[in-house]
Amino acid sequence: MNLALPFALLKNSYPQKISDLRNTFAGKQLILLLVFVLLSPLSWAKEAAPVADDPVLERRMIALSEDLRCLVCQNESLAGSRADFANDLRREIREQMQANKSDREIIDFLVARYGDFVLYRPPVKPATYLLWGGPFAFLLTGAGILFFYLKRRRKQIEEPPLTEEQHRHAEALLKEDKGNNA
Amino acid sequence: MTRFLLPLAAFIVLVGFLAVGLNLKPREVPSPLIGKPAPVFQSQLLHEPERMLASQDNLGKVWLLNVWASWCVSCREEHPLLVELARSGIVPIYGLNYKDKRDLALQWLNQYGDPYTVSVVDPEGRIGIDYGVYGVPETYVIDKNGVIRHKQIGPVTVESLEKKILPLIKELQG
């Protein structure tokens, strides 16, 4: 909205009181302007229009591309990245979905071009056994070490039975203690 | 003694892993297309939009496909090398003008020289997707049977040219 006109007019006949506003030409324009400005938010009040033509397909596209890596900004998913590259691939995915391709087919399409690196969930195959199995191997190793360590430790701190002499000594000490208290 | 040796050994192994990790280039994702037939394309020539080039037209010769754009800064870096390579006549270089505007691309070639036998246009990056392009510039070495033999991600350098690309071309042409 162009504010220049009413304000330029206002400059010439600046109103002294609010009531003056109604009487001047510029004042009337200003009131009209205020009415428009205050009313306009009401006209905008509606639900946000979906960006895509087909919100269902868009949701499916986003869900799929969340599991795919953007190769340009490698710590972002295709869904989250604003790189031009991600835009292009989202368009590609969208178009393939419109052509009734399954998620599996689309993923195969992308892997054929960009390799397993596009997948945030790499497939289980000989090259990735270590990746998938590694954490469990570490866990088992750790648990094993802990088990043997605790077993050894228990043996170390197990109290050896008192010898005859130690028994007598202890008894003597206890008697002495009683005598003091009495 | 093992009390100290064991953590030390673990530490050395860890440092070894980190040292290797530091020298990896995560930006260079190995292409699954190497050893596979180059994706087929047919597109307009940059200089003569009424003419088309199909990738199959290049069957029978070893050629380079260089993905470039006027907006691509690193392309400027490799460009003098490509111009020189083209002048040497060792191998034809075909350009894929990726997501560019025709007038800007032509202007860019005028300014920096045109090493390309021809350039084909890919304004929407669709050929790029087929080739797995994600970081311009990229250069593909394609053999006589139309199979991709090598992919250079990022600018071609003197080193990559001498160590990898030129020997490979010689081998493929032989």
In this complex, the residue of B26, B27, B134 whose CB is nearest that of residue A85 is B134
For residue B93, being part of any structural domain is answered with yes
CB contact under 8 A, A115 and B30: yes
Q: What confidence tier does B12 reach under pLDDT thresholds 50, 70, 90?
A: very high
For residue B140, being part of any structural domain is answered with yes
Tell me, yes or no, if B29 comes closer than 8 A to chain A by beta carbon: yes
Whole-number average pLDDT of chain A = 82
Q: How many domains does chain B have?
A: 1
A-to-B residue pairs, Cβ atoms closer than 8 angstroms:
37
The answer on pLDDT for A15 being more than 60 is no
pLDDT, residue B105, reads 95
Tell me, yes or no, if A97 comes closer than 8 A to chain B by beta carbon: no
pLDDT, residue B4, reads 86
For residue B47, being part of any structural domain is answered with yes
Beta partners for residue B139, in sequence order: B66, B152
Tell me, yes or no, if B129 comes closer than 8 A to chain A by beta carbon: yes
Tell me how far CA of residue A42 lies from CA of A34, A35, A46, A133, in angstroms: 14, 12, 9, 58
Whole-number average pLDDT of chain B = 92
The answer on pLDDT for A30 being more than 90 is no
User: Distance from CA of residue B130 to its chain's centroid?
Assistant: 14
CATH classification of the domain holding B95: 3.40.30.10
What DSSP character marks residue B54? E
d(CA A147, CA B48): 75
For residue B36, being part of any structural domain is answered with no
Show the domain range for B96.
41-173
Read off the pLDDT of each residue in A60-74 and give the average, rounded to a whole number. 89
Q: A71 CA to chain B: closest CA distance, Å? A: 6
Tell me, yes or no, if A26 comes closer than 8 A to chain B by beta carbon: no
The answer on pLDDT for A1 being more than 80 is no
Nearest chain B residue to A116 by CA distance is B32
Q: A32 CA to chain B: closest CA distance, Å? A: 47
For residue B86, being part of any structural domain is answered with yes
Q: How many other CB atoms are found less than 10 A from the CB of residue B115?
A: 23
Q: In what order do the strands lie in the sheet with B138-142?
A: B119-122, B93-98, B63-68, B138-142, B148-153
Tell me how far CA of residue B6 lies from CA of A140, A169, B3, B11, in angstroms: 19, 44, 6, 9
Q: How many other CB atoms are found less than 10 A from the CB of residue B17?
A: 10
Least confident of A69-73, A93-97, A105-109, B137-141: A69-73
Q: What confidence tier does A49 reach under pLDDT thresholds 50, 70, 90?
A: low
Quick: pLDDT tens for B119-166.
Answer: 999 999 999 999 999 888 999 999 999 999 999 999 999 999 999 999
For residue B19, being part of any structural domain is answered with no
For residue B24, being part of any structural domain is answered with no
Binding-face residues of A in 46-85 toward B, CB within 8 A: 71-72, 74, 84-85
CB contact under 8 A, B129 and A74: no
Quick: pLDDT tens for B78-113.
Answer: 999 999 999 999 999 999 999 999 999 999 999 999
For residue B14, being part of any structural domain is answered with no
Residues of B in contact with A85 (CB under 8 A): 134
